[in-house]
Chains A and B, each alone.
Chain A
Amino acid sequence: MSDFALVVRDLSIVGDSERLLLSLDVLTVSPGETIGIRGPSGAGKSTLLFALAGLVKVKSGSVHWGDCNFASLNEEARSRFRRHHIGMIFQDFLLFEELDALSNAAIATGYIRSISQNDLRKNAADVLEKLKVRDIANRTIASFSGGERQRVAIARALAHDPAIILADEPTASLDRVAADALIDDLVALVRAENKTLIAVSHDGHLHEKMDRVIEIVDGQMVREVSNA
């Protein structure tokens, strides 16, 4: 858990031919807060998420986390920032089918040196336990259902104990029952661990569980709803 808020100011991102993809005056996300981002397709939701992860080039503005404006960092430094402070969840899981669940969840053992390999694997196993898939942790992903896969992907995002979780349509590939169960478990987990969750989604059920929901249309933040 970190005490730092995530603060976005005057963020501007352009695409090919200088087309404006996202323009955001200010967005502050408190530590431990859960935020939903919604909006029509192509509105800039995922662009915001990738900007927060430092994966897209920012034309202007800042993304501060504590003293660090990682929008201004070079690629390797942004990568290091993600490695230590951000966990990412994707719509279609992006797991290594040939590996078992635990190896997928503990994938960071390959490149993270600040946490011991054993601790990282133990963290991964613990998260799998909390997400109720510990009993299948040694099976390869190929035999898993969509819900189980996304739980493994969540465990991968949390195994290195990041402060911020960024999720891009985490329930889009799941049926309603699996999606609802996953939302409940994910939200409960991030709250229990006091992590910041920012989730882009079209899923109204997910947004109902968030502390706050912001709506983006044509690259602009047009609405903000608090569920508190």
Chain B
Amino acid sequence: MRATRFAKVVRSTLAVPLLLATSMGNPAMAAGTDGLTLPEGFSATVVQEGQGTGRHLAVAANGDIYLASRNGLVAMRDKDGDGKADETMKFGDVQGTEVRLFKNWLYVSDNVGVYRYRLKKGELAPTGPREVVVDGFPMERQHADKTFALDPKGTVYVNVGAPSNSCQQNDRQEGSLGQNPCPILEKYGGVWVFPANQVNQKATDGRRFATGMRNAVAIEWNAAQKALYAVIHGRDSIDTLFPTLYNAEDNATRQGEEFHRITDGGDYGWPYTFWDTRLGKRVLAPEYGGDGKKEPEAGKYPAPLVAYPAHWAPNDLLFYAGKNFPAKYQGGAFIAFHGSWNRAPEPQAGYKVVFQPMKNGKPTGPYEVFADGFAGEMADNNPRNARYRPVGLAVGPDGSLYVSDSQKGRVWRIRHGGM
């Protein structure tokens, strides 16, 4: 099926006024932030919106922006450098989450496969056929997004999320114990690798690189460290599933979202354990004999580099090596947190982009909130009422940080210094 059959040029009629300096005492607002709160000296421009349920995005060396969305793939070009898309094209026939550039190819994914389109010079949207890199991942409904990372040698690292909360005999059923060993881990709950330059591979051709990862939506190759990293969605519902051990406040605060360096053969502990941020240690999951404090065998699973608050939903990870941001950001990580639903009835949280200071691939201090204010008032404590939800991150050739949103398909360009 040729992508051109679906290509459609849409002239941008974007008319989103920036919120200007009406907010007193917030210097960032004065520079134009579209209502987001940013550190001093940063500004945000709306590139585009209305592109459906936005997911990840990628920016090419020429500045062209590619957004994956639940509604299809979108290419955007800013011709005059003002940060706003002047040309927008929908293309292809893939509805999914990931989009990455590798050599002259655009790699994308949906819930069952990874595909690629050749990008020809000067072409905004690819016109050639879609090639299958790998397909045949089982169709699932839970944690089905096949996000992936690429290393410079041409390896695709595919996150195969577990279609389960905690591998209970009966998923999400109160008191149901865990399957041991968890059979889901044979096909899911880890990272599988495939060569990027081979076509028509099947999911079963892949090699399992790492396991014990419930859903590593935020997965990224760190070029400086030559290593894979991921921030993993932790488990839900310890309170409703095991009410004699945990209450709603426990559920809202204890299961950390774990940031790991992912090594070949690594096992990160799902579903048998979770990182308890209150205790500051890994504990056995209640489905597997946990009593709220019992620990697994020492050394069996690594501690995370950092654990972020429960249910924040880390949906993208990016190591900053661009030219535009101040020196402190070099080598550090940006993480897009989509925001919680499972904290209810406690207040929802997340819905922000944080910066994790790092040096030589290791954290050097607590995270800092980098961009906030996405969700707005969020009536009724329900995520559906969030104004925006950050979901994807990318860096442009000039070092600008691009952020995508899943509520309105909005894309921002965030820069330091002048607009």
Please determine whether chains A and B interact with each other in the same assembly: no
Binding site for B on A (CB under 8 A): none
Binding site for A on B (CB under 8 A): none
